[in-house]
Amino acid sequence: MRKKATITIETERLLILRRSGRVVDRWCAGCRAEVKVVGVEEAAAIAGLSQRKLFRLAEAGEIHFIETPQGQALFCLNSLSGNRRLLTEGLA
């Protein structure tokens, strides 16, 4: 049962990514690796959170984000999916 839920989430996530087509690779200091990052709108859609909650998580260090020279925040997909428990259970 648990496995099925995970697969559903994965599929939805992939669909969102494929639709938006705005996934780019960036170096993430939190992961120490090149990761896929998305803009705040995509990240909020994937996580099912409001943009405000997303930023709050990012500021708490729960989600990695990268700021572009233009001041745009890009969110690390690795840390988003790594926080699925947080994301699915909601924030305390």
Chain residues binding Zn ion by CB under 5 A are 28, 30-31, 64, 76, 78-79
DSSP state, residue 1? -
Shortest distance, position 32 Cβ to Zn ion, whole Å: 8
If one counts every other C-beta atom within 10 angstroms of the C-beta of residue 36, the result is 16
Choice between 28 and 46, CB closer to Zn ion: 28
What distance in Å separates the CA atoms of residue 91 and residue 68, rounded to the nearest whole number? 27
| Cβ closest to Zn ion, residue 45 vs residue 58 | 58
Q: What's the start-to-end Cα distance of the chain, in Å?
A: 25
The tokens 């996530």 sit on which residue?
13
By beta-carbon proximity to Zn ion, the closer residue of 45 and 76 is: 76
As measured in angstroms, the least distance from the Cβ of 29 to Zn ion is 8
Least separation in angstroms between residue 40's CB and Zn ion is: 15
Beta bridge partners, 33, equal 28
